[in-house]
């Protein structure tokens, strides 16, 4: 599915995580690069939530009974990919971790192993992986699928990412250069100052066809 517009939280695209897993053919343990995006979905966006849950339920039905047992979604050990951000934030308080950006949201993590997802801007032009950062807004091309190994549930596989617009960076880190030097930037003669991604990927006349 192509998701509604969501906001990125944790992002491992330019620098994927390295995880250790068992090779299905040989049984040997090996390191694999995991490209991941954790997406925030506002609890006020009931349409987006309903669309995502429809795909999750379809994955449950497709995986029953071959992968999942009957009534799997009602089992305590079942892992739903859509999680409650408020509960996650409260858990962070107990652990001494700042997860305040998750409040008021649902969230899920989509990942792919061993392959960087395709990344385009809103005009369909390819982007570098570091253009996707915590806080920006994107659409994701994902696929939900059931699993049953050490645990049971539904996971989200990440295929492609479309950058939609910039947002306030989450979790600290360095700000984009135009933001860092905002109070010192001067307008060049006959030039128009544009936002970070507009300057890199906008149309020739600086206009935007984005419907918002």
Q: How far apart are CA 83 and CA 143, in angstroms?
A: 17
Residue keyed to tokens 């449950």: 60
pLDDT digits (tens, 9 = 90+) for 146-185: 999 889 999 999 999 999 999 999 975 565 565 567 678 7
Angle at 6 between CA 72 and CA 152, to 5 degrees: 15
* Beta pairing, strands 78-79 & 152-165: parallel
What is the chain's alpha carbon radius of gyration, rounded to the nearest angstrom?
Answer: 20
Q: What is the largest CA-CA distance in the chain?
A: 68
Q: What is the pLDDT of residue 201?
A: 37
pLDDT digits (tens, 9 = 90+) for 4-29: 999 999 999 999 999 998 887 888 89
- Work out the average pLDDT over 184-188: 73
């Amino acid at each position: 599915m192509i998701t509604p517009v969501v906001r990125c939280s944790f992002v491992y695209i330019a620098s994927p995580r390295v995880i250790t897993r068992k090779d299905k053919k040989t049984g040997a343990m090996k390191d694999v690069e995991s490209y991941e995006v954790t997406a925030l979905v506002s609890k006020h966006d009931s349409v987006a939530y309903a669309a995502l849950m429809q795909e999750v339920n379809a994955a449950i039905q497709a995986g029953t009974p071959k992968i999942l047992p009957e009534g799997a979604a009602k089992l305590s050990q079942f892992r739903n990919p859509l999680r409650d951000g408020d509960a996650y934030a409260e858990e962070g308080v107990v652990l001494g971790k700042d997860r305040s950006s998750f409040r008021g949201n649902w969230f899920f993590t989509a990942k792919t192993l061993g392959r960087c997802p395709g990344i385009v801007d809103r005009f369909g032009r390819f982007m570098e992986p570091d253009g996707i950062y915590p806080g920006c807004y994107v659409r994701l091309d994902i696929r939900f699928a059931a699993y049953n190994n050490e645990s049971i549930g539904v996971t989200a596989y990440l295929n492609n990412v479309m950058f939609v617009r910039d947002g306030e960076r989450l979790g600290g880190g360095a700000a984009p250069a135009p933001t860092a030097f905002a109070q010192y930037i001067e307008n060049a003669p006959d030039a128009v100052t544009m936002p970070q991604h507009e300057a890199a990927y906008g149309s020739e006349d600086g206009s935007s066809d984005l419907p918002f």
